[in-house]
Amino acid sequence: MKIAVVGATGMVGSEMLEVLAEQNFAYSELLLVASENSIGKKITHQGKEYEVIGMEQAVAAAPQIAIFSAGGDTSLQWAPRFAAKGTVVIDNSSAWRMDPTKKLIVPEINGSLLTRADLIIANPNCSTIQLVMVLAPLHQKYGVNRVVVSTYQSITGTGVKAVQQLENERSGQNGEMAYAYPIDKNCIPQCDSFLENGYTKEEMKLTNETKKILDPKINVTATAVRVPVVGGHSEAVNITFDQDFDLEEVKSVLSLTPGITLQDNPATLQYPMPRFAQGKDDVFVGRIRRDESQAKSLNLWIVADNLRKGAATNAVQIAQLVANL
């Protein structure tokens, strides 16, 4: 098994290498791939030094699996070239997610859909993954009708420039700005660029990807906000079901779902927080309570490390499925 990590020098690429090591992913050869600017750079992984190679060299090597985290334009250009060599591409960008010919996969939910014929597989948006992980078992039990979600998204979702901006602001230094405004001691109600309907791309990803993964009948409306947090994304979610529910049964369903950790005990101030989700692969859910203003409706709070289950871990889980096909 020869595996390539494309975008290996980036935040998500680095996390992918960590997850591959933690999950003892079995490979005979590892190719670290990046843009021309990074070719020749040395990266040490599990005590071994690797030299970063370029895209042409990686395609020529014809790995069995290539995990991409290098942006949509790169994926659109290079994923078909890898696929033409028989390489299975697992892409972390938005390039292929809504392509009707490509599968959008969260392994715990729809990993069984994968076949050997799938040569380009889309990894969902980080905010979508943690949302559908919680929605899926509840949809199966009660039928999700409508979802209202407000996100509180980590700067790590923007990348290393955003982390540097926050560090610069907190140390009183000037530097390159990842955002149009200061992020320290601030909330920016914009994740990604605005569309004609007034929503941002991030907000529409939550809507469209949830429908594709779970059910096109589910209505989703979202507001995505960037906050000065490093550990992970948080989401305040209001769900209206087709059927009524028992609150304790909801908690039981979620607690028994693989990949979800229930943290819900107001008496002991137990609830999910990004500070404590960082570096973990599970999706954490708490603050579960009935919406007293609306029938058959529920409020809850979801937190996950956006670099882990929201990106790298989900991609590596898909790679494990592919390797076992």
**Catalytic machinery residues:** 126, 233
Neighbouring residues of 105: CB distance < 8 A, sequence distance ≥ 6: 111, 113, 114, 121, 122, 123, 124, 314, 318, 321
- 29 alpha carbon, distance to own chain's centre: 26
Q: How far apart are CA 86 and CA 237, in angstroms?
A: 40
Phi, psi of 172 (to 5 degrees): 75, 25
268: Cβ contacts below 8 Å, ≥ 6 apart? none
Q: Are 107 and 124 in contact (CB under 8 A)?
A: no
- How many whole angstroms separate alpha carbon 134 and alpha carbon 16? 23
Query: How far apart (Å, rounded) are the C-alpha atoms in residues 146 and 219?
Result: 5
**CA distance linking residue 316 with residue 20, whole number of Å:** 7
Cβ density class 291-308: b for 16+ within 10 Å, e for less = eeeeebbbbbbbbbbbbb
- Distance in angstroms (rounded) separating the CA atoms of residues 37 and 82: 21
